[in-house]
Structure 1
Amino acid sequence: MDLTIWAGGRLRAPEDPVLTAVDHGVTVGDGVFETCSVQGGVAFALTRHLARLERSARGMGMPPLPLDEVREGVAAVLAAAGDHAGRLRITVTGGPGPMGSHRYAPAEQRPTVVVVAGPAATMDVSRAVRSPWVRNERSPLAGLKTTSYGENVVALAHARARGADEALLADTRGRLCEGTGSNVLVEVGGELLTPSLETGALAGVTRELLLLWGGEAGLPVREAAAGELPWEVLDEVTAGRAHLALTGSIRNVTPVVRLDDVDVAAGPLSLAAQRLFAQRAAEDLDP
């Protein structure tokens, strides 16, 4: 894979070692990350992504992030990658740490920053399955974008084994929550509804921008009230009485055309949201 990597203050070859074996991001998943799409050598919505990176780090109890170092890495990677980059990943870990889950004292912590750019496969539609596992909305990691991604790895593998590209999760109270790497939109009753963040869903940047831009354009899109989107609403999708779309930093807005083993139609509001997001994103790369 054609990757451009920056770590430790300089560009690295893909085969170069960049982490110690006791990096806390490796041993216990003590880290945060962001993924941005790249358009014409520019990371889309970078300001919003960095703000969320900081929120996730605070939620993890990590020390203040070295944002100057992060920005240096982003600039170096994008300059080196040129037009070949389609996505950018920023990872900040707790750095070298104990073998267990506890951390060193704050003065001893040395975060590790890794920035990687590479190609991105785009898609116009999505295929999803209902996951047998749930998102714990009461977890201390709920709503944070951390490197502790094991649950998502398992759920997405389950989906891919069934010919899908995303797995949908409920929360522990039986409410529709999110995908493993996406937010959800349900087109029902003449509106586009996205699950409340009370479900433990991540506050996605694409989700945030669609709510903003949709409101400005008169598109009926809003965050659902708590309990307004029960898990059973997906039965309405397979019955053809509702529609589904997914949002994410690489997929942008994609209508779902297959749920479980049922082909479903893309909804008109979902398609309108897809067009609106593409138009507004092309007009402003750092909204």
Structure 2
Amino acid sequence: MSVIVWSGGALRAPGEPIITATDHGLTVGDGVFETLTIRDGQPFALTRHLARLRYSAERIGLAEPDADAVRAGIAAVMEAGAGALTRLRVTVTSGQGPMSSARGDGPQTVVVTGGQAARPHVCHAVRAPWHRNERSPLAGVKSTSYGENAVMAAYARDKGADEAIVANTHGNLCEGTATNVFVEVDEEIVTPPLASGCLPGITRGLALEWAAQAGLPIRVAAPGELTMSVLDAAIEGRAHLAVTSSTRGVQHIASLDGHDLAAGRLLRKLGALFELNAERDPDPAPRRSS
């Protein structure tokens, strides 16, 4: 099945040109995006994803994306997919701009794509040799300026892994290239705070909310509490690790730097709880992230 494309108010042929050579999303990566998984024929957590799309746009100074247009694009792509799609992507750029970093006057470019992509069933991770800059203007933004993530993902593949875990500039645990990280240690589950520079993941937020409601011992770590040494603790069996994302759900890290890791009891419960609640509520109402 080929990719289904919507832009400019209409479905487009997969190979049809829709981005100009001077679009700032292409020339300088000046845009934001969201990736959504499809569960039981519906885009999961659509309202939360659109809220984060607005947040990302605001953070980098873009005008608020037209939510009605985005929803119309998603509906058109879903209808054309006839129940066969497994993943959606919404991309919004600042539109045409000059041959510099300065933005033009738009209008924005909005593209919705849908296709089939297998859901990853296992996570093999490595430590990235680079750091996430928690003070970057793009920290916590789902930006199309994704070059550093592409470099780290390629590094992971070269090491036989499919995810790279990265520290921030203080040496604290931050996130994966496309995931958030949860740690089971001392009979509780903790995850790095947003102050670490990590993305406010949709699955991360839901996992925190649903686990707290169910009475699981879970919390956001204090700044600096989770150093990268916790990864050594996981290799030694004194901690357990999981990653979260829209495409992975809550997923055990099966190996780190070539070392097999055991799954944590609490993290297994968190994964099962997330799947159960996701089936019950395909579009959970947004709440403020932690």
Instruction: Please name the residue that 1:253 is paired with.
Output: 250
Instruction: Please name the residue that 1:74 is paired with.
Output: 74
Q: Quote the Cα distance in structure 2 between the aligned partners of 1:124 and 1:38.
A: 16
Is residue 2:84 matched to residue 1:84?
A: yes
Instruction: Please name the residue that 1:268 is paired with.
Output: 265
Instruction: Please name the residue that 2:33 is paired with.
Output: 33
Q: Quote the Cα distance in structure 1 between the aligned partners of 2:121 and 2:185.
A: 21
Unmatched segments (≥5 aa) in structure 1: none
Q: Quote the Cα distance in structure 2 between the aligned partners of 1:6 and 1:124.
A: 29
Instruction: Please name the residue that 1:61 is paired with.
Output: 61
Instruction: Please name the residue that 2:164 is paired with.
Output: 167
Q: Deviations over 1:25-64 (max 9, x none)?
A: 0000000000111123211000000000000000010112
Instruction: Please name the residue that 1:141 is paired with.
Output: 138
Is residue 2:157 matched to residue 1:155?
A: no
Aligned length, in residue pairs: 284
Unmatched segments (≥5 aa) in structure 2: 285-290
Instruction: Please name the residue that 1:111 is paired with.
Output: 108
Q: Quote the Cα distance in structure 1 between the aligned partners of 2:82 and 2:113.
A: 13
TM normalised by structure 1 equals 0.97
Instruction: Please name the residue that 1:93 is paired with.
Output: 93
- Give the secondary-structure state (helix, strand or coil) at the position aligned to 1:84: coil
Shift of 1:227: 1.1
Q: Quote the Cα distance in structure 2 between the aligned partners of 1:125 and 1:283.
A: 24
Instruction: Please name the residue that 1:206 is paired with.
Output: 203
Q: Quote the Cα distance in structure 2 between the aligned partners of 1:56 and 1:94.
A: 12
Shift of 1:251: 0.4
Is residue 2:158 matched to residue 1:192?
A: no
Indicate conservation of the 8 Å contact 1:159/1:167, yes or no.
yes
Matched to 1:191, the amino acid is E
Instruction: Please name the residue that 1:182 is paired with.
Output: 179
Q: Deviations over 1:57-76 (max 9, x none)?
A: 00010112122211110110
Shift of 1:270: 1.3
Query: Residues 207-286 of structure 1: matches in 2 within 5 Å?
Result: 207-286=204-283
Shift of 1:211: 0.4
Indicate conservation of the 8 Å contact 1:120/1:250, yes or no.
no
- Give the secondary-structure state (helix, strand or coil) at the position aligned to 1:124: coil
Q: Quote the Cα distance in structure 1 between the aligned partners of 2:179 and 2:235.
A: 20
Matched to 1:63, the amino acid is A
Instruction: Please name the residue that 1:19 is paired with.
Output: 19
- Give the secondary-structure state (helix, strand or coil) at the position aligned to 1:83: coil
Instruction: Please name the residue that 2:288 is paired with.
Output: none
Matched to 1:212, the amino acid is E
Indicate conservation of the 8 Å contact 1:186/1:192, yes or no.
yes
Identity of aligned residues (%): 55
After TM superposition, where is structure 1 displaced by more than 4 Å over at least 4 residues in a row?
A: none
Matched to 1:269, the amino acid is L
Q: Deviations over 1:69-121 (max 9, x none)?
A: 111101100111122111110000011111110012xxx32000000111121
Q: Quote the Cα distance in structure 1 between the aligned partners of 2:245 and 2:217.
A: 19
Q: Quote the Cα distance in structure 1 between the aligned partners of 2:209 and 2:37.
A: 19
Q: Deviations over 1:119-176 (max 9, x none)?
A: 1212333110000001000000000000000000000100011111100000000100
Q: Quote the Cα distance in structure 1 between the aligned partners of 2:131 and 2:102.
A: 27
- Give the secondary-structure state (helix, strand or coil) at the position aligned to 1:5: strand
- Give the secondary-structure state (helix, strand or coil) at the position aligned to 1:256: strand
Q: Quote the Cα distance in structure 2 between the aligned partners of 1:77 and 1:219.
A: 38
Matched to 1:183, the amino acid is N
